[in-house]
Amino acid sequence: MPSVTEVHIQARLAEVRERIAAAADRAGREADVIRIVGITKSHPAEFVRAAHEAGLKLIGENRIDEALPKRAATDDLEDLSWHMVGHIQSRKARTVVQVFDAVHSVDRFKIAERLNRAAEQAGTRLPILLECNVSGEVSKWGWPLTEQASWSEVTEEFARIRELPNLEVRGLMTMAPMVVEAERVRPIFKKLHALQIYLRRVIPGDWSELSMGMTEDYEIAVEEGATLLRIGRAIFGPRATG
């Protein structure tokens, strides 16, 4: 018999999926191209198992030290994919490659080089997203691409990252501001989508993924083209404290 926690997580996940489907329908999109990355920050491995039981296959963490024990505790779930969504320190690039199956938060050329080297040593190719700061918030990581006039300035660097042999650039990621009214972030998501369209035109390759949208605004992100939604509280409840 499922535990109370499992029932709650399964019910929340079902509601999130329904809302995603409705948002996709409003935007004239197919819901099956939109995937949920369950953010389990501060939650135990049991929550990961409960979400997996409900069909969630992608788990996101923003800290290596927290991801390590959870991944070890769920090692028997072979179809689970772990995504790094937090800022990466250069000295931890090798560990990131060892722990995670994909990285959303490549925010500078230096870290791309470090990940490429670590992936080569590990004998693997690492799927990555390029994190872009299109909101202008100084507290956010990523290439500063608020102004469309600046986009041409990063094309050479992005093209160089695409040439790194042990990385697979799949698309872009952004962090939207925390706002009371979710509708206020729509221009941010629109801008990342526009950047995706621009990069498809000037740099050949796969730019299909857009990682944007969290608990507060994932429906708007779906309407504006997101393919990966980083959702935590709406599925797992409030983060543990202490």
User: Residue 80 pLDDT > 60, yes or no?
Assistant: yes
- At residue 132, the 3 state secondary structure works out as strand
What confidence tens digit (pLDDT) does each residue in 163-199 have? 999 999 999 999 998 887 889 999 999 999 999 999 9
Query: Which residue ranges form the domains of the chain, and what is each CATH number?
Result: 4-236 (3.20.20.10)
What confidence tens digit (pLDDT) does each residue in 20-38 have? 999 999 999 999 999 999 9
- Do residues 68 and 99 lie in contact, with contact meaning Cβ atoms separated by under 8 Å? yes
The pTM of the full predicted model, rounded to 2 decimals, is: 0.95
Cα–Cα distance measured from residue 36 to residue 59, given in angstroms and rounded to the nearest whole number: 8
Strand 167-173 with 143-144, pairing: unpaired
Size of the chain in residues: 242
Cα–Cα distance measured from residue 195 to residue 155, given in angstroms and rounded to the nearest whole number: 11
